[in-house]
Amino acid sequence: MKLRHSTAIAVLLLSSFVLAAPPKIISEFSGKVIGVSDGDTIKVLVGKETITVRLEAIDAPEKGQSYGDKSKKALSDAVFGKNVTVKKTGIDRYGRSLGFVVVGPTEANAKMIEDGWAWHYKEYNNEERLAKLEEAARKAKRGLWADDKPLPPWEYRARQRAPQVESKAAAASGQYWLNTSSNVRHNEKCEHFQKTKKGRLCERSEGKPCGICGG
């Protein structure tokens, strides 16, 4: 019985290692959570030092995004004011500590995915257990999965960066703006260029030309 049990564990460990090696824990520290920035970033007071921790393996909606507030609140409910242990996996490019945040028996990273308040950040983590938690949350429409197609934060961030690039490109090359409500096209000299409530950059062949600027 004991042997069979340990064999099963060995097989499990081996297969999970082969399929999806979890990130290596490089160190561990404990402290009190004194701040929650959003659904994936917290501040932990360790002695007299405040350490910013970016939760490993998850990506939560940004502040300006749908569910950004609820995601932040969910993480806050789970960890704020509590003593946590951070299992550090590294440092990200902003100098924040990356890690798994553990409160009592609960790992906050997994819980955020399980409750539907964060994505499993598959670009940086391939753990099967976390992929499964997201799958279950999606099926049950928990948290942000109540939406049919919630916008992943990494796509949101890419879109936030994109408009500036587009404007510069437009100024340099001479482009057109389509009012997507009226289907009227404006050229870049027009006062309506990039000023309509709804719209996007477009080709000369799209929409109807503006009566004033000629499109």
Which residues sit at the interface with Zn ion, rule CB under 5 A?
A: 186, 190, 192, 210, 212-213
Around 92, how many Cα atoms within 13 Å sit in the side-chain half-sphere? 14
Least distance to Zn ion, CB of residue 189, Å: 8
- Compare residues 91 and 171 and give the one whose CB is closer to Zn ion: 171
- Compare residues 78 and 213 and give the one whose CB is closer to Zn ion: 213
Least distance to Zn ion, CB of residue 186, Å: 3
The residue annotated as part of the active site, out of 28, 49, 93, 96, is 96
Active site annotation includes 54: yes
Residues in the chain: 215
- Compare residues 126 and 194 and give the one whose CB is closer to Zn ion: 194
Q: Are 100 and 56 in contact (CB under 8 A)?
A: yes
The residue annotated as part of the active site, out of 4, 28, 54, 203, is 54
Active site annotation includes 93: no
Phi-psi category of residue 153: left, alpha or beta, with phi > 0 → left and psi -120 to 50 → alpha: alpha
Q: How far is CA 173 from CA 78, 83, 176, in A?
A: 51, 56, 10
Which structure tokens are listed for 102?
Answer: 């553990």
Residue number of the CB closest to Zn ion reads: 210
The residue annotated as part of the active site, out of 56, 62, 127, 134, is 62
Measured in degrees and rounded to the nearest 5, phi and psi for residue 21 equal -70, 125
Provide the annotated active-site residues: 54, 62, 96
